[in-house]
Amino acid sequence: MKIIIGEYDPDTRQVSARFEQGAIVHTRTVNACHDATGGYDATATEARVADVGRGVAQKIAVGAILPTPDETADPA
């Protein structure tokens, strides 16, 4: 699975994440991690997004997340 993490949004304290597996692309926001001083922790957030990605992969495997219609449309 390919995972792309977007920019940190300090207002929502989240990052956007894009999960790509085969023909399926799933996007969602993920709560960011912060250090003891309240600052954004990119390393911990990357680990959290990877954890979310494992869940997304399992949902794809069982058919709970499917390609959107535009991903399966015939380009002809």
C-alpha distance from residue 42 to each of 2, 23, 48, 55 (Å) = 18, 28, 10, 20
Tokens of 48: 């959290």
Query: For residue 67, how far is the Cα from the chain centroid?
Result: 15
Q: What is the pLDDT of residue 58?
A: 97
Say if 57 falls within a structural domain. Answer: yes
Number of domains in the chain: 1
Q: What is the pLDDT of residue 68?
A: 79
Say if 6 falls within a structural domain. Answer: yes
Tokens of 76: 């002809």
Say if 48 falls within a structural domain. Answer: yes
Say if 20 falls within a structural domain. Answer: yes
Q: Are 3 and 19 in contact (CB under 8 A)?
A: yes
Say if 76 falls within a structural domain. Answer: no
What is the biggest distance separating any 2 CA atoms in the chain, rounded to whole angstroms?
54
Boundaries of domain holding 13? 2-71
For the residues of 17-36, what is the DSSP string, one character each? EEEEETTEEEEEEEEPPB-T
Say if 19 falls within a structural domain. Answer: yes
- What pTM does this model have? 0.86
Q: What is the pLDDT of residue 26?
A: 96
Say if 15 falls within a structural domain. Answer: yes
pLDDT in tens, the chain (76 residues): 999 999 999 999 999 999 999 999 999 999 999 999 999 999 999 999 999 999 999 999 999 999 877 655 555 5
